[in-house]
Amino acid sequence: MIDFQRTNELVPTTAPLAESLRRNGGTPLHLDWFADARVNRSAVERRAATLTTRRSIKKEYQAAWLVKAVTCIDLTTLAGDDTPGRVRRLASKARRPIRADVVAALGLSAAPPTVGAVCVYPTMVGPAVKALEGSGIPVASVATGFPAGLTPLPQRLAEIRYAVDEGAHEIDIVITRAHVLLGNWDALYDEVSAMRQACGPAHLKTILGTGDLKTLRNVYKASMVAMMAGADFIKTSTGKEDVNATLPVSLTMLRALRDYGERTGVRVGFKPAGGLKTAKDALTWLMLMKEELGRPWLEPKLFRIGASSMLADIERQLEHFVTGRYASGAHHALS
């Protein structure tokens, strides 16, 4: 059993923190906030390389952090052969991401953890909403011509509105990478602002497609513009690029989050996605969030992990903590 007070990582967020969170209303486009921005790639890479060497999380602390990671996962299926049946299976796993006997051994039976959200294509939103009814787990939908985002803007906005009408609580949009590569910040700002308006009450998670942006400086600038335009989250990748979430890219985006927060007083969330597959990856990104932004960003309101296969490895590690043995992957339900 995990001693929650000792580990202090599973203690629920306090009411004042929860009440202080508000949606990002955005700002006018301030080019001077980032026009002279510089990113020292060597320094960023050195900082990222030392992240896992400076902190070691073991035993009950590691178990507590892994349970925390589960609550921040956007459990995802974005396959061409998705069906309502697959989505229902995913929703069942989202409700019970950790096997009941492991939950009991961890002392979590009174309040079993669930994942942060379920992420699907727009046509699968309806089945996901129905399957998750009463669970409190939000449904996220990709939109705007995911993953390339190269369909006409009216069509992309219509796709957002369709997903929201189907019941999506969160919309993961993709930007036009060409706006970043050409330095057309007005066009990027106007695009994301229009998408934010189309979302209505749904939260906007802006995917930058960082693997396509070429430089960390572009990543920083795109992050700032997306937040000015009203993004509630900024997200690294679609998972379809050649290079997806990396520590240097994530660190650059977190520094942009911090700078935006210092200027506006608004907390914007962060979501790494693509290439995160293991429990070790989950711990690494949790460490990054804790060290760069602090304890508030260890909650699903401000941190999500886009993943589909990671959950199985986390569950396997938690079973090892409970039993001292590693189970075969066949012992854990597919997500």
Q: The tokens of 128 are what? A: 């996901």
Catalytic residue status for 172: yes
Q: Which of 210, 212, 206, 211 is nearest to 270 (CA)?
A: 206
Do the bridges between strand 73-76 and strand 269-271 make them parallel or antiparallel, or are there none, so unpaired? Answer: unpaired
For residue 191, what is the enclosing H or E element? helix 185-199
Of the residues 205, 271, 281, 313, only one is catalytic, namely 271
Catalytic residue status for 81: no
Of the residues 172, 232, 281, 313, only one is catalytic, namely 172
Quick one: 302 exposed, middle or buried, by C-beta within 10 A (0-12, 13-18, 19+)?
Answer: buried
Of the residues 235, 281, 301, 313, only one is catalytic, namely 235
The answer to whether the CB of 268 falls within 8 A of the CB of 261 is yes
Catalytic residue status for 271: yes
Residue whose token pair is 């934010």: 196
The answer to whether the CB of 141 falls within 8 A of the CB of 170 is yes
Q: What are the strands, taking DSSP E only, across the chain?
A: 73-76, 117-120, 139-142, 170-174, 203-207, 233-235, 269-271, 305-307
What amino acid positions are annotated as catalytic residues?
172, 235, 271
